[in-house]
Structure 1
């Protein structure tokens, strides 16, 4: 058991060591590159891109023609020092990974980011109200009462079956 715990601890530490530098490099690249939000979209969906590479109060020309969306403009956004722009993924877009490019108007610096087009939407997170369960909601008192009623029914059924097996009758 100790050996298994050591192996699992070692594996967790190795995973943390590997993911730490990768996460840091992704954040560093995101601050100077083109951030695509969301990074995965469906045809007909809206995509926002942003970068800090152009500097404050700058603009950039965006190019999403790889996915078929054409050109768009990036202007100063709500985040300090970031320019943002928006485009819509065409309904005819095919699944795949597409490169989105933005060129800063001042300085001509180009930044790139990837957009993944999928045919299905990203799975939702969290609970969904489906109507399954209690009509009055997840009340712990009602749940306890229901469990108690089931336990009494099971005990009663077991008692009746036991009496029948002994020949006492019902």
Structure 2
């Protein structure tokens, strides 16, 4: 039992000693480039945010992959990040494009993906108009034709009822 306790205590001390050594490797992965919205149609404006630059310092953005060119990311006071904007050109083709930003101090480079589509997913499209099936509808565009159809059905129903009644009495047809 003592041997197991010594083994566990030794393992815990080894993990505790290795902790500070492993921390900087994880901290280096912090900071990314966020795009809002991340999916746009040509002609829309995109806001770019990053926390990768020291103390929210300035950065230079590059959106030439989508055809928009360079833009500037300026420091933002409350969140300690850098913010910039660019407009996707109307001539942009659908696809996924890599947008980059390079911090002015230190030269750190971060990337993010922008998806360009032909239709916006934020707006719901409701169908309008009628379906051209060739059958017609109960309430078509012409009320006179609708009334004539209803009258024809009423005459046919009355005639059928009269014929069935005569047959049931034995009068024949």
TM class, shorter-length? 0.5 to 0.7
Check conservation: 2:45, 2:86, Cα contact below 8 A. Answer: yes
The runs of 5 or more residues in structure 1 that have no matched partner are: 1-27, 129-170
**SS of aligned partner of 2:122:** coil
Q: Partners of 1:39 and 1:88 in 2: how far apart?
A: 13
Deviation by residue 1:46-104 (Cα, 9 ceiling, x = unmatched): 00011000022410000000000000000012651110100000000000000000000
Q: Residues 83-162 of structure 1 correspond to what in structure 2 (within 5 A)?
A: 83-124=82-123
In the aligned structure 1, how far is the partner of 2:53 from the partner of 2:67? 24
**Closer/same/farther in 2, CA of residues 48 and 82 from structure 1, 3 Å limit:** same
Partner of 1:140: none
**Dislocated runs of 4+, deviation >6 Å:** none
Identify if the C-alpha distance between structure 1 residues 56 and 35 changes in structure 2 by more than 3 Å, giving closer, same or farther. Answer: same
Bigger Rg over Cα: 2
Alpha-carbon distance change, 104 to 96 in structure 1, aligned in 2, over 3 angstroms: same
Cα distance in 2 between the residues matched to 1:108 and 1:47: 23
SS in structure 1 opposite 2:54?
A: coil
TM-aligned CA deviation for residue 31 of structure 1: 5.8
Structure 2: gaps (5+ residues): 1-26, 127-173
Spell out, residue by residue over 1:129-164, the C-alpha distance to the aligned partner (whole angstroms, 9 max, x if none): xxxxxxxxxxxxxxxxxxxxxxxxxxxxxxxxxxxx
Q: Do the aligned residues in 2 keep the contact of 1:31 with 1:51 (CA within 8 Å)?
A: no
Give the TM-score normalised by the residue count of structure 2: 0.53
Q: CA RMSD in A?
A: 2.4
Give the Cα–Cα distance (whole angstroms) in 2 for the partners of residues 48 and 86 of structure 1: 5
Mapped to 1, the partners of 2:38 and 2:82 lie a distance apart of: 17
TM-score (norm 1): 0.54
- The structure-2 alpha-carbon separation of the partners of 1:48 and 1:78, relative to structure 1 and needing over 3 Å to count, comes to farther
